Structures are given as structure tokens and as C-alpha cells.
Amino acid sequence: MSDNRFQPPRPIRTDVQSTTRAGSANHAATLRTDISSQQRGALRAVASRDDGSVSAAHGAQQDQGSVSGGRGRASGGGGADGNALRTARGRSDESGPRFDVDVPAGGYAWWYVDGVSDDGTRAISIIGFIGSVFSPWYHWSGRGDPANNCCMNVATYGAGGRFAMTDRGRSALQATGDTLRIGPSSMQWTGSELVIDIDEISSPPLISRMRGRVTLTPSAITQKELPLTDDGAHIWRPFAPVSRIRVDLEAKGWQFEGHGYFDANFGSRPLEQDFSYWTWGRYPTTEGATCFYDATRRDGSTLEAAVAFDKNGTAATISAPERTPFKRTLWALRRETRADAGTTPRQVKSMLDAPFYSRSVVETQISGEKVQGVHEALDLNRYANPFLKPMLAVRVPRRAKWQFDD
């Protein structure tokens, strides 16, 4: 049984230290370029306004303009930028991820991977953070130095599942164009695969080492991104919505293959400053994958994004079915996703269940096709509650100091 549910605060061990093993399979001995020697890419080096006119990836058909459930305009009074799929820009990551981005004070960058086993019994999620948006330590610090609150969050779901999210200091971060190292763990883009080496300590109540390798193989890399606000302060960059994943962890039963997903988000302001609620979902389809991104912004406007990706990396906006509510979580968190009229989504597998956040495998129906994929719901009003931060600190310990062997 997975332990990925938040529990009330209680005393925890503070003597666990993460270490790497020289010569071990997941020790990134070849990744030696220090962060300070790299020329940084701008997190958001684009004009605030965009006309939404972009060419599709790999020379295919043009996107259909704004992403608003097929209505041809931004919903809820939002401007075109806040709902317009466009060509990725400003970070030189059109053909694959680049980790050497400059993250401004108050901002964040994260690279997200998930995967579900072919038999549906196990799942995994991994997030590399610079400016760890859900870390109480980043909040308490005033968010002045994102690099001083970095993290490799690893969660496994299924029998023996674990959760690791250690907030680390600036000395634990090394980022080059193709490699992100955070303490003993790393992500490396080889040009065709994302290789993630994990060496973490899981959080209470099941404290143990999580070690091994995860390899994500995209069918193609998209060339698209979606500004989530009119001024482009928050960007969604879906690198590889159609992927295969191979998991090989040093734990019994934690070797599997399945469908995978890879994206990134970049921002120059805290999430809760601009959003009150959002849901996101990625659903494998016979043609590739469909992603839905719905959000309520603080200014009263809404984001309603529906994007279909094929196996060649081409992205196109589509007309989405209606937002449809389904059963709340154990923390009574509201959830919804897109579903054909007359059908109701349902949770197939619980993944992460927290007071302000839910991740789960959800089944829904899109254009007559029944699909199962990963869904998340995020209540940023709840997250903004200061009384929640001490609870989070139980699951997100702080390890400020780190020294690389090389």
C-alpha cells in the first residue's frame, strides 16, 4: 500500500543523510560541469503579447489559434496569450529540455515525468524543481533565491510505494544544458531519452532509501508551449506527451514498463499569486495523447486548454467536451476533468492525496473513446493557508548543505 497521503505532524527522524555511492550504477560520475560555468537561458524571453499564429511541429498543419474548448477565443475574458498554443521560445528547448535556465526571485522551473505500468498496478512520478513551489521552506525563505530551494521529488504508487521530497540548498544544484543534478539524483537528456538516476530517502512514515534508474523514451518531442496567463508569467511546455517509460528501482516489484509523459512548467511568480484552482490531465489515446489544462485565475478569467498530440509530436487544439465533476478526494478536494456528455469520470488508482493536491489515474471518455490517464487537481486557496505549511514540512525535510564528490 502506498504511503502517499499526508498525515498530521508528528516527531520525525532528523539524522538521515543522503549519500552517493562511488561507482554505483546511478552515481552520475560523468556529469561534471558546474552550474556556475554555464551560460543561462532566459526563463521567459518573449514579448508579453502573442498573436497565436504559429506553425505546427515538424512542418505539419497549423494550430487552430486560441485554446478555449474550440470556441475560437480565450474563455472567461482572458486575453489571447493566456490561452494560445505557440511555438516554444526563449529557452532553446525546441528539440529537448534544457536545464540551464535562469529562474528569477519568486519564480520556479520544474520538469515533470510520470508513468503507469502496462498492467495498471504501479505508477511513478518524478519532478525536478528549481524554486520548489510546494516547499514550505521556499515560502518561509521569501522566495528570494530559487536555487537555494531545489528538489528531486520522487513518488511511487502501488504496493510498497514511497514518497521523497527533500528540499536542498544551492550547493546541491548543478544545471547544464542537458543535465540537472540535485544532490544525489539527476536527470540527463541524451538527445533521444531522458535518463533519471534516483538516490533519495523517503519521507515518514515509511523512511527508506529509494534508488534506481528511470528511462523515458519519447515517440517525438513537440515544439509547442502554452502561456497560462496573459502576460506569459507562467508557461506550460509539453515535451513528450506520448512516451514509453522503463522503471528499474532497487526494490522488489519495482521494475516495469508502461506509458509515460514528460513536460515542464516555468514561472516568474508564485502559483498562488495568479491562480486559485486548476486541473490537468493527460490521457493516452489510439492516436497519441490528449491533454486538458483548466484553471481559474485570480483576476476572474479562466484557462480552458485542450490539446491533442500525435505520435510524431504534432500538436493541435481541439474542441473539448464539458468539464465534468467526479468524486472528491479523502481530503474533500474538488475534482473535475473533461468527459463526453452523459459520462462521468472515475478514479481508477489513487496516487497522491494531500489537503490541497490530488494526483490519480482517472478514466474518462473523449470523443467516444474510453481512456485512462494521469489527472491532478490543485487548490491554491488551500495551499496559501499558512497553517498548512508545518504539515508540509513533515513530508518535505530541509537538507541545506551538500557536497558533490566530483
Query: How confident is the model over 109-149, as pLDDT tens digits?
Result: 999 999 999 999 999 999 999 999 999 999 999 999 999 99
CA distance 3 to 35: 34
Rama region for 356: left / alpha / beta (φ>0; ψ in -120 to 50; rest)? alpha
Look at residue 367 in the predicted model and tell me its pLDDT. Answer: 95
Bridge partner residues of 375 (DSSP): 281, 360
Q: Which domains does the chain have, with CATH numbers?
A: 51-394 (2.40.370.10)
Would you state the pLDDT for residue 296? 98
Joined together, the cell numbers standing for residue 169 give 540548498
The angle formed by the CA atoms of residues 157, 159 and 165, to the nearest 5 degrees, is 40
Taking the CA atoms of residue 119, residue 114, residue 253 and residue 186 in that order, the dihedral angle to the nearest 10 degrees is 160
Q: Which residues of the chain have pLDDT under 50?
A: 1-3, 6-39, 44-81
Helix (H) or strand (E) holding 393: helix 389-395
pLDDT score for 32: 34
Query: 182-204 burial string, b = 16+ CB within 10 Å, else e?
Result: bbbbbbbbeeebbbbbbbbbbbb
> What is the distance, to the nearest Å, from the Cα of residue 10 to the centroid of all Cα atoms in its chain?
28
In the prediction, which pLDDT does 83 show? 61
Helix (H, G, I), strand (E, B) or coil at 149: coil
Bridge-based pairing state of the strands 209-218 and 224-227: unpaired
Cα distances from 249 to residues 16, 35, 149, 210, in angstroms, run: 20, 28, 26, 7
**Beta bridge partner(s), residue 279:** 294, 377
Residue 374, burial from CB neighbour count under 10 angstroms (0-12, 13-18, 19+): buried
What's the mean pLDDT when you consider all of the chain? 85
CB atoms within 10 A of CB 382: 17
**What integer pLDDT is reported at residue 43 of this predicted model?**
60
Q: Are 278 and 375 in contact (CB under 8 A)?
A: no
Which DSSP state fits 341? Answer: T
Closest C-alpha to 334, from 366, 357, 302, 360: 357
Q: Is 190 left (phi over 0), alpha (psi -120 to 50) or beta?
A: alpha
Assigned C-alpha cell, 140:
518561509
Q: Is the N-terminal amide bond of 270 cis, ω within 30° of 0?
A: no
